[in-house]
Structure 1
Amino acid sequence: MKQTLTIPQKIRQLLLILVPILVAQITMFSMSFFDTVMSGQASTQDLAGVAIGSSIWVPISAGLGGICVAVTPIVAQLIGAKRKEDIAFKVNQGIYLALFISGLVIAVGAISLDSILDLMGLEDTVRRISHRYLLAIAFGIPALFLYQVLRSFIDALGKTRVTMLIALLSLPINVLLNYILIFGKFGFPSLGGVGAGVASAITYWCLALIALTLILRQKSFRTYHVFGRLFGLSIKEWKEQLKIGLPIGFAIFVETSIFAVVALLMSNFNTVTIAAHQVAMNFSTLLYMVPLSISSALTILVGFEVGAGRHKDARQYSYLGMGMSVGMAGICAIILLLFSEQVATLYSQEVAVIQMAQQFLIYALFFQLSDAIAAPIQGALRGYKDVNVTFITAFISYWLIGLPAGYYMASYTPIGAPGYWIGLIVALAVSAVGLSGRFLVVQRRYSS
């Protein structure tokens, strides 16, 4: 990364950071996409089992993994401030913290998973698939959280093409493993949806090992001496990272868990409804990779400019990212409007699932605008290390407004299952408004 003096230069640097992040995000999400699609080709029960398992795992992995994302603004600001010598210590402590969190997740999951699944009243086959899918995922948790820290370090240096290449390398590994383990190829047993969990766990380890190898071998990373010495564990540094990481992680958890809770509440409906909801939610999440990638790029660039004390440049990057995000949201909405049937048939061949998924995909149209506003603002605020209000806004909009509204419409009105989607749309809109207000406050503070 380097200082930019004009708007065209900023657009170019934003795109140089953004495009590899977008490719990497889509590639990483494609693993979940292929898990879902390939499990759906095995059977509707496998699709529903993976859907329930994912609805439990995704908010946990995203939320706790979000704590590791604290490394990005920390390192980005150190780079901007030209304090290169402090980076190795920060990254090492991030790794220690990630491994501690992963152990905690595995321990809590071992104690509570059966009880959670029992409360959901699932069909026996769907419950069994969900349980074994999550058990398989557990073996990859330490590797995934380790990779989150290593990726945050690499991205903060502006080397987003490296994480893009890592993701591109890992995707064919994941798809091949899915093919072998879900359908029982090359002499392996057919595991159905459970095979998708095994494939994901192995892929997580591949991600971590590839990233670790590159950091150790490439000269551009070796100069930071991340593994040049063994640092002792620092509780003080953990507290500093948690001060930034916990609000980020909680905000991500609050946002993703609301979608997971809706998926769990959908278990009160039949298997076709669960499968159709998962189809629509999975594809709308794929489209969300665009504003999410812009958010990640803004965290890096805004953090870099804030660390260097160039607050006008940080503000300009923020507005450029928001404008780009809204424009892309319009394109994504058109895609959903024109090709909803084709999208649904990617996931299932059952007519009932396809028809219901098309209805849910129409609601996903309205997700796009709110996400296009909220996600870039979140990224910019993280670049400023302003994270607490983001968490509070997410909690209020999703849990105190969106979920109750959705539950009421789904349970006490003729709308039924789509009522949950309307509640999510309301939550996203409220979140976008709240974050916009906070962003203006932060801008005024730095302008003064």
Structure 2
Amino acid sequence: MTSFDKIERAATASREAVTTPGNHFAHELSETIKLALPMALTQLGQIAMMTTDLAFIGRLGNEAVAAAALAGTVYFVSFTFGMGLVSAVAPLAAQAFGARDPLLVRRSLRTGLWAALLISAPIMMFPLFGEQILLALGQAPAAAHLAQRYLFGLVWGVTPALWFLALRGFMGAVNRPEPALWITLAAIPANALLAYLLIYGEWGLPRLELLGAGLATAIVNFGTLLAGLWFATRRRPFREYHVLGHIWRIDRSLMRELFVIGAPISVAFLMEYGLFSAAALLMGLISTTALAAHQVALQITAILFMVPFGISMAATVRVGHAVGRNDASAVKRAGLVATGLGIALVAALTLAVIVSRFAIARLFFGTAESAEGATELTSTLLLVGATFFVADGVQSIVAGSLRGMNDTRVPLLFAAIGYWLIGFPTACWLGFRTEFGAVGVWIGLSCGTAVNAALLIWRFRLLANRLRSP
């Protein structure tokens, strides 16, 4: 028996275990949780590293924190293009795995690695010229200069970060997302130690401050990549795919498909990110207190979002497996189970946030009388955000299910409609033409996100109903 025969047997093992129709949903739920849990924890690990960096930078002063925020904006906008493209590895590899085609699994990863390398050069141009970009946008010269110091360190980690994302997509597609979690958990203390040493110049190293923070992140990105490659080439079941075999070959047809799938994902991510950036600008026009409350509420949203985002990644894989084996009923079931699981978990987390909203606000602003206004507004935004949290989770999961079917262009149109045709105008009108103010901006965000979620659900049902099992 060849190694590829073993892979094909592994590809069908999970569904052969389901012997009766009554077990289908329970089995699907179990498989989705097995995939989603390590994926969500990996994302939370990424947030933990970012939070550690921010805590160290905070000791350098408010100017350093502001500069890091500006640098993060420039970096994220550019990195998102590559992130969207590389995320297409997961559905392509998952469909190949479901179709019992290990050669196509390897080709999907190889194409993702090449795409990441090719897109890295233009992506790196934005951070390398970050100071000029920020000055053109009207930022203060001192802040722009400090931000550039941070970007000079961050930029060297672009390529390894994208390659690691491709490896994560491959690992998840073959039902083994755990190594990415183990690597991320090991990276958290490593990143904290490196950041501390390079920012403050301990153990005889030079004090590099923001440059050191960026370099620490870049070095950790290289480390996670090397660890990911070790798992992919040395450990079962990954090594059976010989992922680096014929690595020099560029698969032009699959590269075009990856760009067709991945480019709309990138633009959709930017649309969502752009909406929240625009909302921050609106809050700044209302008051400083409104902006501060918005940032805290948004940080809580980002943490909560990691749960449905992990389920979204699992939905992409599960739907991709079903598409690969042309199992229409399994496609519907995978999407339904993932969405139901996401709604249940996000609703429970949202309830916890509502109950503890005042404590959350005081955690950020303290109990001083001068912070009472910001605390009150933050708790109100968290209460209003209850509907937004659930809608945002649903849209993320259903979008992941659609990615498993290679459907990304229509969801991009829906993002434009939901976020910018409905969400942003509603936020502007309620924020400035009514008495709602900052609360109205969040109502607008909720409305736009809910519309996007509803359109995505309609799209998934439409496409799933068109499928026919053999």
| Same fold at TM > 0.5 | yes
Deviations 1:161-204 (A, max 9, x none): 11111111111222233334455544556666655433322222
Q: Map Cα deviations across residues 391-436 of structure 1 (whole Å, 9 max, x no partner).
A: 1101121122222333444455555555543332222111111111
- The 3 A distance-change label for structure 1 pair 90 and 321 is closer
The 10-residue stretch of structure 1 (414-423 or 167-176) with the greater mean CA deviation from structure 2: 414-423
Deviates more, 1:372-381 or 1:190-199: 190-199
The residue that corresponds to 1:379 in the other structure is 400
Does residue 258 of the first structure (1) align with residue 279 of the second (2)? no
Q: CA separation in 2, counterparts of 1:357 and 1:36?
A: 21
DSSP-derived class of the 2:187 partner: helix
Write the deviation string for residues 234-281 of structure 1: whole angstroms up to 9, x where unpaired.
Answer: 333211111111122222222223223434565667776655433322
2:225 to 167, 183, 208: 208
Task: State the shift of 1:151 in Å.
Answer: 1.2
Q: Aligned partners of 1:309 and 1:76: how far apart in 2?
A: 12
Q: Structure 1 residue 331 and structure 2 residue 318: aligned?
A: no
Per-residue CA shift, 1:1-59, capped at 9, x if unaligned?
62153222222212111111111111122222333444445544433333333233334
1:159 maps to a residue whose letter is R
Would you say the 8 A contact 2:94–2:317 is kept in 1? yes
Opposite residue 401 of structure 2, the aligned amino acid is A
**TM alignment of 1:74-89, pairs within 5 A:** 74-89=92-107
**One-letter amino acid matched to 1:150:** L
- Whether the 8 Å contact between 2:268 and 2:415 is mirrored in structure 1 is yes
1:240 to 257, 262, 269: 257
SS at structure 1 position matched to 2:326: coil
- Distance in 2 (CA, whole Å) between partners of 1:181 and 1:270 is 37
* SS of residue matched to 2:467: helix
The equivalent residue for 1:296 is 313
In the alignment, is the contact (CA less than 8 A) between 1:181 and 1:191 conserved in 2? Answer: yes
Q: Secondary structure at the match of 1:140?
A: helix
Match of 1:50 among 65, 68, 71: 68
Aligned match for 1:393, one of 414, 421, 426: 414
Query: Which sections of structure 2, spanning at least 5 residues, go unmatched?
Result: 1-10
Q: Does 1:432 align with 2:432?
A: no
Distance, in Å, in 2 between the alignment partners of 1:177 and 1:214 is: 23
| Pairing partner for 1:154 from 171, 174, 193 | 171
Aligned to 1:9: 27
8 Å CA contact retained: 1:130, 1:194 = no
By how many angstroms is 1:115 displaced? Answer: 4.3
Kept in 1, the 8 Å contact 2:154–2:215? The answer is: yes
Distance, in Å, in 2 between the alignment partners of 1:122 and 1:269 is 20
Q: C-alpha separation between the residues in 1 aligned to 2:258 and 2:329? A: 26
Counterparts of 1:53 and 1:299, CA distance in 2? 31
User: What SS does the aligned partner of 2:247 have?
Assistant: coil
Instruction: Determine the structure 2 residue equivalent to 1:343.
Output: 360
Q: CA deviation at 1:312?
A: 0.8
1:305 is aligned to 322
Which one is further off, 365-374 or 302-311?
A: 365-374
Q: Give the whole-Å Cα distance in 2 for the aligned partners of 1:443 and 1:127.
A: 49
- Mean Cα displacement is larger for which, 93-102 or 167-176? 167-176
Summarize the Cα distance change of 1:379–1:226 in structure 2 as closer, same or farther, 3 Å threshold: same
TM-score normalised to structure 1 length: 0.89
Stretches of structure 1 that go unaligned for 5 or more consecutive residues are: none
CA distance in 2, matches of 1:56, 1:264: 16
**Map of 1:165 onto structure 2:** 182
Q: How many residues align?
A: 447
Higher relative contact order (CA 8 A, sep 6+): 1
Q: How does 1:168-183 map to 2 (within 5 A)?
A: 168-182=185-199
Task: String of CA shifts for 1:345-393, please: whole Å, max 9, x gaps.
Answer: 5556686496354454444333211023211111111111122111110
Distance of 1:416 and 1:140 partners within structure 2: 40
State whether structure 2 residue 111 is matched by structure 1 residue 93: yes
Structure 1 residues 441 and 215 mapped into 2: Cα distance closer, same or farther (>3 Å)? same
AA at the equivalent of 1:230: I
SS of residue paired to 1:223: helix
* Change beyond 3 A, Cα 1:286–1:437: same
Q: Secondary structure at the match of 1:337?
A: helix
Within the candidate set 44, 50, 57, 1:26 is matched to 44
RMSD after superposition: 2.8
The 3 A distance-change label for structure 1 pair 267 and 34 is farther
Q: In 2, Cα distance between the equivalents of 1:391 and 1:326? A: 22
- Name the SS for the 1:219 alignment partner: coil
Provide the residue aligned with 1:370 in structure 2: 391
The structure having more radius of gyration, on CA atoms, is 2
Q: Distance in 1 between matches of 2:136 and 2:434?
A: 24
Query: Distance in 2 between the 1:38 and 1:329 partners?
Result: 31
- 8 Å CA contact 1:67–1:242 kept in 2: the answer is yes
Residue 139 in 1 paired to residue 156 in 2?
yes
181-190 or 285-294: bigger deviation: 181-190
Worse overlay, 387-396 or 51-60: 51-60
Distance 1:177 1:260, change over 3 A: farther
SS in 1 for 2:246: coil
2:203 & 2:38 partners in 1: Cα distance? 34
The match for 1:104 is 122
Aligned in 2, Cα 1:345/1:124: closer, same or farther, shift over 3 Å? farther
Partner of 2:7: none
C-alpha change, 1:426 and 1:135, in structure 2 (3 Å) is farther
Asked if the contact 1:166/1:211 (under 8 Å) is kept, the reply is yes
1:72 and 2:93 equivalent? no
